[in-house]
């Protein structure tokens, strides 16, 4: 991964090791935590109507939830031996194949529904 991400991961791993939290960070528990933090992110936008502007307060709260999600993703990918950058790159390549520009531009249809 990138140097910045590697340094951040080292800090995350040290943080949990210093607190003896590895035993709680099972793949199941990390997946649950990612889902819960994603729900907390969504809560920031729950009652917005139409194209309401994103206020600085909402942006700040969203940033904290996104950071929580990212920390758990880095932890989980490390524990499972998954190179997160490599996995995301591969997924993007698959998406390019599933959603060719000429069929998907401006459409929200799933790839199996594109004609």
List, in order of start, the domains of the chain with CATH numbers. 3-103 (1.10.287.1080)
The predicted model gives 65-92 an average pLDDT of: 97
> Can you say whether residue 104 is alpha, beta or left, with left for phi > 0 and alpha for psi between -120 and 50 degrees?
alpha
Name the more confident of 110 and 89: 89
- Average pLDDT for the chain: 94
Look at residue 72 and tell me whether its pLDDT is greater than 70: yes
Name the more confident of 92 and 1: 92
Core vs surface per residue 66-102: b (16+ CB within 10 A) or e: eebbbbbbbbbbbeeeeebeeeeeeeeeeeeeeeeee
pLDDT value of position 2: 84
Q: How confident is the model at residue 109 (pLDDT cuts 50, 70, 90)?
A: confident
Q: What is the pTM of this model?
A: 0.87
Look at residue 59 and tell me whether its pLDDT is greater than 70: yes
DSSP-derived secondary structure for 57-101:
HHHHHHHHHHHHHHHHHHHHHHHHT--HHHHHHHHHHHHHHHS-H
pLDDT value of position 1: 59
Q: How confident is the model at residue 48 (pLDDT cuts 50, 70, 90)?
A: confident
């Amino acid at each position: 991964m990138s140097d910045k991400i590697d340094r951040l991961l080292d800090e995350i791993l040290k943080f949990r090791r210093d607190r003896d939290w590895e035993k709680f960070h099972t793949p199941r528990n990390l997946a649950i935590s990612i889902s819960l933090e994603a729900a907390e992110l969504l809560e920031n936008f729950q009652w917005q109507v139409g194209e309401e502007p994103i206020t600085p307060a909402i942006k700040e709260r969203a940033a904290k939830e996104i950071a929580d999600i990212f920390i758990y993703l880095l932890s989980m990918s490390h524990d499972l031996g998954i190179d997160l950058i490599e996995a995301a790159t591969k997924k993007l390549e698959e998406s390019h194949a599933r959603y060719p520009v000429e069929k998907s531009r401006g459409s929200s249809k799933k790839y199996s529904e594109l004609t």
